[in-house]
Amino acid sequence: MNSLGDLMQIYADKYDLNELEGMKETAIPGVWFYRSSQGNQRQPFVYQSGIIVMGQGRKHIHIGNQPVHYGPEDYLVVGVPMPLECAALPENGVPLLGLNINVDSTLLHRLVNELEAAFFEHAPRSKQETCGLSSVKMATPMLDSCKRLMVALHSDLDTKMLGESLVMEIVYRALVGSEGHVLFDLAHHDGQYARVAKVLTKMHQNYSEGLTVQYLAEEANMSVSAFHLAFRKVTLESPLQYLKKVRLNKAKELIQLEGLRVSDAARLVGYSSSSQFSREFKRHFNMTPKGSTH
């Protein structure tokens, strides 16, 4: 069978995606195809939670003081949305190609319950010192699953009939892989990781509101000190640093993609002072908000 990167290129050829710069959802809900011919220098992004599969090219991620590198036939398990800095590097004149697979919570809970019922003693346990992002070299079963998903995407009928089951298989492979504990921890609502993940969802939904650490700790049903410690273990950021990065990344999207004025974008993401917004934007992105529109 072709390499995973070859299968992704065949998909791009079939569906006229050779000019795509970014992501486009496939015919399988929650599965997104990624392509970039030029890549990008190191810059801030927010990685959404899910399973990220790389077919071609390399990415270098910097999160806190922990670098994460991944390339062809590697995958990442992203437990929670992570503000980070990422450089994307095409290799040998071919574009970066990959998949982002959302992990449906209903599917995740069903698989975790079945796995724990089948062999609970082997279920991956929490690694509280580990942040919510890790890279894994694909073992043969995971690689085969990803290849079969790409082959199915070449056929509309295969996509319709097999897509859902192939996604389930990939989530299963991730669960029993070396970073499966990230997904197990997400499924366990009473654990600290799951509590932080719940708060992160609220932060991404309500970033424009005046969220305080006290309020977020209450949402997690934790003391402020325990919440602050748990939050930093998961994200390598303080809650307020994380919230600031979420707001700035959202503002950049509003300015670049929706054409909003700087003052309007600042207000919509929760800044009452345009000058403070501009200072923090420049510090974060190394460019002014107006410069990001060019």
Contacts of 159 (CB under 8 A, 6+ apart): 26, 27, 28, 152, 153
> In terms of domains, do 22 and 99 share one?
yes
Report pLDDT for 124.
Answer: 54
Rg (CA), the chain: 20
- Give the residue, 76 or 65, on which the prediction is more confident: 76
Instruction: Provide the Cα torsion 288, 20, 4, 110; round to 10°.
Output: 70
Question: 121-135, 165-179, 191-205 — which one is most confidently predicted on average?
Answer: 165-179
Of 149, 166, 187, the one marking the end of a domain is 187
Report pLDDT for 293.
Answer: 55
- The answer to whether 27 and 156 are in contact (CB under 8 A) is yes
Of 141, 163, 187, the one marking the end of a domain is 187
Contacts of 5 (CB under 8 A, 6+ apart): 55, 56, 72, 94, 97
For residue 128, pLDDT over 80 is answered with: no
For residue 149, pLDDT over 70 is answered with: yes
The C-alpha angle with vertex 263 and arms to 246 and 211, in degrees rounded to 5, equals: 35
> In terms of domains, do 52 and 115 share one?
yes
> In terms of domains, do 137 and 200 share one?
no
Closest to 156 measured CA to CA, from 3, 28, 7, 18: 28
> In terms of domains, do 161 and 125 share one?
yes
Report pLDDT for 181.
Answer: 86
pLDDT tens-digit readout, 82-107 = 888 899 999 888 999 999 999 998 99
> In terms of domains, do 88 and 167 share one?
yes
Cα 116–chain centre separation: 26
pLDDT tens-digit readout, 235-274 = 888 999 999 999 999 999 999 888 899 999 999 999 999 9
> At 107, which CATH number?
2.60.120
Pairing of strands 66-70, 133-137: unpaired
Q: In what order do the strands lie in the sheet with 82-89?
A: 40-47, 82-89, 58-63, 66-70
Q: Measured between alpha carbons, how far is 184 from 84 in angstroms, rounded to an integer? A: 23
> In terms of domains, do 114 and 131 share one?
yes
> In terms of domains, do 41 and 133 share one?
yes
> In terms of domains, do 176 and 198 share one?
no
Over residues 136-151, mean pLDDT: 97
Contacts of 2 (CB under 8 A, 6+ apart): 10, 147
Pairing of strands 31-36, 40-47: unpaired
pTM: 0.82
Contacts of 27 (CB under 8 A, 6+ apart): 153, 156, 159, 160, 163
**Domain total for the chain?**
2
> In terms of domains, do 163 and 213 share one?
no
Cα 49–chain centre separation: 4
Q: Which domain holds residue 254?
A: 192-293
> In terms of domains, do 69 and 112 share one?
yes
Report pLDDT for 250.
Answer: 93
